[in-house]
Structure 1
Amino acid sequence: MGNLVNLHYLDIRGVKSIERMPFGIDKLTNLRRLSDFIIGEGDGHRMRELKYLSNLKGDIRLSGLENINGQDAREARLYEKEMIDRLVLHWSKKFEKDSGNKEDEEWVLDSLCPPKKLEQLVIENYGGAKFSTWIGDSSFKNMLSLELRNCKNCKSLPSIARLPLLKDLSIGGLDEVHKIGVELFGANQSNAFASLETLHFESMPNWEEWDSCEGDEQASKFPSLLELSIRECPQLLGRLPTFLQSLQKLEIYECRRLVVSISSFLSLCELSIEGCEQLVYEGSSSTEEVTSLKNVS
């Protein structure tokens, strides 16, 4: 591989049998596109080879991150690769919930700070107890999409309300999160999630409370939100926030303790409810109108 010095494009997506990158990958300094960079067990130091691939652009997936330490991650100099616009940070599913050192994993994520021009970020199977502060830093002005999947040890969400262009947010499989509130919105945040259009929660088995901080009347939250989906959150109590005035599509699935009141959602045109505590309409319209709305799909 090291002899292919003029190679511009290397795509190994879907080749599941590959367990590590070939030797000589650091010699491919003309490489523009690299779909995956895989770190095998015992090869953590090879993460540092990324620093030589300064021309990478587009999307890239970093796999096997359970095999590196913070110094390896820092030496990759990910923040310098300004032409990368989509980044997937992937820890193996075999990386058990209680295995490894949570502080070491947090150091790795801290050291994998991407370039400020990044548009899409996915974090999968991360084993730390908390997310890095860089995730919600307002300097990521181009961030459009964020996905947090199966980060089983994280107890709270990152403060991401200040990302000015964020349109899509998907959160799922965070088993240790019990409450979502001010840590997500940020303290004294005047215009939270200004551009967010879609918000998805899924498989949050211990999430009990969504504190929407509605007492802060000066704060504007989710002014552009069009679609909200909450699936398989069986412990979630109470009602949905009432300030979702722009909401057009609402999906609730298997949230047995949640009461859904739709009277506040004046723009709602698509509603799918299955397995929730109660559907409430507190307006002057008849029950038949609620039923017809419920059946829209």
Structure 2
Amino acid sequence: MAAARMGGALLSAYVQVAFCGLQALQSKFLTELPEEIRMLVNLRHLDISGTQLHEIPPQIARLENLQTLSGFVGKLCISKLQNIVDPCDASQANMKKKEQIEDQSLEWDSCTAQESQHLVLEHLQPSTNLNKLTIKFYGGTWFPNCLGDSSFANMVYLCIPSCHYCSLLPPVGQLHNLKELIIFDIIPVKTIGPEFYGCCSPSFQRFPS
């Protein structure tokens, strides 16, 4: 029995090592992805187009070498951003090119004053195809201007809660299709001025949707 258990353990270890060496994976019969997908550290291409997947496990974020994720299920949450030591590392996610993502959340575990978070947020700039964006517990003192850029023509929902050190809100008034804007628990903001609307022209229509 002991030999059998040892053999099973060795086989399991062998399978794990073999899967960790995978660089591409394709299947049309998937209904869910296991949490153990985080072990595929060398995976570069994951094709889930035509599958019955309804969600992606958060462990997918640990696949640092992943370059292609076709047929991506449209919601992505990137949490524990406080663990990013070098803000430039966030640029490797290349979020601007992830055009399949429609709903994205960027979250820190708690709000701590740290100016480097501004750079992290800049490097995680989402695709202009994005419909919904949530930024939670951001510790910077201002938001990158790109957040309210009119190129985000598909943005219909923006939620910015619990950003305790921001004194300026992003210029989201020029997001033409924005229908739902949720802002709360941003204590330093005392007044809202032209910077919030994104344009000072009297003829400019703010929040047209």
C-alpha distance 124-181 of structure 1, shift in aligned 2 (>3 A)? same
CA distance in 1, matches of 2:146, 2:59: 22
TM norm structure 2 = 0.73
Flag structure 1 segments of 5+ consecutive residues without an equivalent: 13-17, 40-45, 196-297
Could you tell me which residue of structure 2 aligns to residue 72 of structure 1? 89
Aligned pairs for 1:276-295 within 5 A: none
Q: How does 1:9-158 map to 2 (within 5 A)?
A: 22-24=38-40, 27=43, 29-31=46-48, 33-36=55-58, 48-53=64-69, 55-68=71-84, 69-93=86-110, 96-98=111-113, 101-102=114-115, 104-158=116-170
Q: Where is the strand percentage greater, Structure 1 or Structure 2?
A: 1
**8 Å CA contact retained: 1:133, 1:158:** yes
2:199 partner letter: A
Taking a change above 3 Å as real, the CA distance of residues 37 and 178 of structure 1, as seen in their structure-2 partners, is farther
Tell me the SS of whatever aligns to 2:39: coil
The residue aligned with 1:245 is: none
CA distance in 2, matches of 1:9, 1:110: 34
Identify which of structures 1 and 2 has the higher relative contact order when contacts are C-alpha pairs closer than 8 Å and 6+ apart. 2
C-alpha RMSD over aligned residues: 2.8
- The answer to whether the 8 Å contact 2:106/2:134 transfers is yes
Quote the Cα distance in structure 2 between the aligned partners of 1:179 and 1:10. Answer: 47
**Residue type of the partner of 1:36?**
P
Say which SS state the counterpart of residue 118 (structure 2) adopts: helix
Q: Give the Å deviation of 1:178.
A: 1.5
The answer to whether 1:166 aligns with 2:182 is no
- In the superposition, relative to structure 1, how do residues 61 and 179 fare at CA in structure 2: closer, same or farther (>3 Å)? same
Q: Deviation per CA, 1:107-130: give whole Å up to 9, x if none.
A: 100000111110000000111111
**TM-fit CA distance, 1:151:** 1.1
Shift of 1:35: 4.6
The Cα of 1:22 is off from its aligned counterpart by 2.4
Q: How many matched pairs?
A: 178
TM-score normalised by structure 1 residue count: 0.53
The structure where helix makes up a greater share of residues is 2
* C-alpha spacing 1:156/1:29, structure 2 compared with 1 (3 Å): same
CA contact (8 A) 2:141 2:165 kept: yes
| 3-state secondary structure, aligned to 1:29 | strand
Q: 1:10 to 1:108 in 2, by over 3 A?
A: farther
Percent identical residues: 30
Task: Kindly state the Cα deviation for residue 152 of structure 1 after the two structures are TM-superposed.
Answer: 1.2
Give distance in 1, aligned partners of 2:142 and 2:66: 26
The superposition leaves residues 219-243 of structure 1 with CA deviations (integer Å, 9 ceiling, x where unpaired) of xxxxxxxxxxxxxxxxxxxxxxxxx
Q: Is the 8 A contact 2:47 2:68 kept in 1?
A: no
